[in-house]
Amino acid sequence: MKLNRIIFSYLAVFSMLFLLSCTSTSTSPSINTKTDLSITYSELNDASSKTILVAAHRGAHIGNFENSIESIHRAIELGVDIVELDVQTTKDGYLVLMHDSHINRTTTGEGKVEDLTFAELRTYKLTGDYGSVSEETIPTFEEALNEIKGKIMFDIDMKTNNAKGVVEAVEKTGTMNDVIFFSNKNPILDDIRKLNASTQVMPRAYSYEMAEEAVVKYAPAIVHISPGFYTKELTKMLRENNARVWINSLGMNDARIRYGDRENVLENLIESGANVIQTDEPEILLQLLRSKGLHH
């Protein structure tokens, strides 16, 4: 009898805790983590902002497929601010998403993008980690632009010299406000600016002097820097010129984020005031930044 009363008491307490947890869950406001493009615009144009924006390298592709429409959708779901995707030109002049010069690594096909026609490329499927195969074929640049329109910013990594085709596609889709044109070759950025003076370009700088030259030449909203000269002096100069600092967390830093050393990595990345971090681990980085009040 005594044992029954003890069991009954435990069950009553457990039931009460369960009901409280259900009530708490049902009354707690849901957190919308999806990308809010209006916030990204605001933060990107506020050089004094303390918010750290996150750029998903080749889209949110971990457990997914890089440079894919699916990787764009996943980035938006996570609340990523910017997707970085690579653009190349096919043999017959179509613009498509692809990082490598060859399609061997990321599709079921083989060959160089520039040696294959668009029709040939579309016969292959995208591939991912551990031999996974997508239902998705290689996307066109225009398809990607239509997917990001009004939803998330697109950092266009120019793996092509076809500046005219890229600018025309952006104009056609009405996405000029949603894109940043990136190249580590200034002549390509020069061609883009000649085609449309209102384009947002992101120059690559490999020294403090190159960053200064980029500010004078392009008056950019953002400058992509290398870590070798990432200092508070540089950040101060760029912010005084209404530019933001883009830095990468790719390679070893992302590996450390993935396997647990994320606090030290983040501290090193933002110690001199970087505003945008490009990563292959956007989900983990976003969680870390939000836990520290550094991301909206």
pLDDT tens across 264-285, in order? 999 999 999 999 999 999 999 9
**C-alpha distances in Å from residue 204, one per residue of 22, 95, 215, 282:** 51, 23, 11, 22
Domain boundaries, the chain: 36-86+149-291
More confident: 26 or 194: 194
Better-scored residue on pLDDT, 13 or 48: 48
pLDDT band at 31 (very low <50, low <70, confident <90, very high): very low
Binning pLDDT at 50, 70 and 90, where does residue 131 land? confident
State pLDDT tens for residues 220-255.
999 999 988 999 999 999 999 999 999 999 999 999
The string of pLDDT tens digits covering residues 169-180 is 999 999 999 999
Examine the pLDDT at 59 and tell me if it is beyond 50: yes
Per residue in 142-163, pLDDT tens?
Answer: 999 999 999 999 999 999 999 9
**pLDDT value for 49:** 86
Contacts of 102 (CB under 8 A, 6+ apart): 110, 111, 112, 113
Burial class (CB in 10 A: 0-12, 13-18, 19+), 71: buried
- The residue written with tokens 């690559």 in the block is 204
Percent of the chain whose pLDDT exceeds 90: 80
Report the pLDDT averaged over residues 59-65.
Answer: 95
Query: Is 57 considered catalytic here?
Result: yes
Catalytic residue among 61, 99, 224, 295: 99
Domain 36-86+149-291: CATH superfamily is Phosphatidylinositol (PI) phosphodiesterase (3.20.20.190)
Q: What is the pLDDT of residue 35?
A: 85
Contact by Cβ (8 Å): 61, 68? yes
Write down the mean pLDDT value for the chain: 89
Query: Is 296 a catalytic site residue?
Result: no
Q: Helix/strand/coil (H, E, C) string of 49-90?
A: CCCCEEEEECCCCCCCCCCCHHHHHHHHHHCCCEEEEEEEEC
Instruction: Tell me if 144 sits within 8 A of 175, measured CB to CB.
Output: no
The Cα-based distances of 61 to 108, 134, 149, 249 in angstroms read 17, 12, 20, 15
pLDDT at 107 over 50: yes
**Catalytic position from the list 57, 61, 224, 295:** 57
